[in-house]
Amino acid sequence: MAFEAALIGILCYLGALSSPWLLGLTGGWYLITRPLVSGMLVGFILGDVQTGIIIGVAVQAVYIAMVTPGGSMPADLNFVAFPAIALGILSNKGPEVAVALAATIGIAGTVLFNAMMVLNSWWNHRADVALEKGDERGVYLNSAIWPQATNFLMRFIPTFIAVYFGAQYINAFMDSLPHIVLSTMNVLGGILPAVGIAILLKQIIKNYSMLIYFLVGFICIVFLKLNMVALVIVGALLALIHYNYKPEPQAERAASKPADDEDEF
């Protein structure tokens, strides 16, 4: 299990917000740190790809609308994507419990993220001192090497410890919890994905009438049991109808009236 824990710890570092190795943010933060992708990767490492993808989808729905403006991070998605999903797979308690675990670990991960930011400011100060002295090697070490070493240690070590020791104790710990705690985690884990989708809809929908299309898609999936190909076709037809036959806004209709209509009085 040590090898698997080490692989997940390395992936956690490669997907960190300030890791430059996988084309910077493109391949790291915006690719492998997405829970949908990390769930597949972690599931492959732990030998259960199907469960990893199922848990990744559920966790992705929770954080689908998460943004980090100005470096402010409500939850550390990096720790959600790797140690949390790994523990969710190892717990064998279903995606709902895994989502509740991910939410808890993600909030706790912000403590380490803020600690890393504080340490980075210290390395920056040392780089400024080296620059004043004309020490090029000191500038390079304090601006590139030591911050990345700090980032690696603060990602790899917690992930390795959580996965390695969690693999031994997570099942016993989950089984020791009272039934009411597990029931609460199941309820919260079922609600959180809906909250994530609701936040996303709040951001992208300007007119509440657009919710009709969301409800149509929901009905197609839940009640009509359409697959994704059929749903894409239905969505494309609805988009064509909406953009070609939508009613003209009142403001544009008023502006299109002849100017001499005002002189009839």
Query: What pLDDT, in 10s, does the model give residues 65-104?
Result: 787 766 667 788 999 999 999 998 988 888 888 888 888 8
At residue 126 the predicted structure's pLDDT band, cuts being 50, 70 and 90, is very high
Report the chain's mean pLDDT, rounded to a whole number.
Answer: 84
According to the model, what pLDDT value does residue 146 have? 93
Which of 181 and 9 is assigned the larger pLDDT?
9
% of the chain exceeding 70 in pLDDT: 90
- Residue 10 contacts by C-beta under 8 Å, 6 or more apart in sequence? 156
Read off the pLDDT of residues 163-201 as tens digits, 9 standing for 90 and up: 998 877 776 777 777 778 777 777 777 777 777 878 877
Read off the pLDDT of residues 136-154 as tens digits, 9 standing for 90 and up: 999 999 998 999 999 999 9
Angle at 59 between CA 190 and CA 166, to 5 degrees: 100
- Residue 191 contacts by C-beta under 8 Å, 6 or more apart in sequence? none
Find out whether 214 and 231 touch, Cβ atoms under 8 Å.
Answer: no
Q: Is the pLDDT of residue 32 over 90?
A: yes
At residue 265 the predicted structure's pLDDT band, cuts being 50, 70 and 90, is very low
Q: How many CA atoms lie within 13 A of 1 on its CB side?
A: 14
Which of 25 and 32 is assigned the larger pLDDT?
32
Give CA 28 to chain center in angstroms: 12
Q: Is the pLDDT of residue 39 over 50?
A: yes
Q: Is the pLDDT of residue 261 over 80?
A: no
Find out whether 18 and 113 touch, Cβ atoms under 8 Å.
Answer: no
Other Cβ atoms closer than 10 A to 250: 8
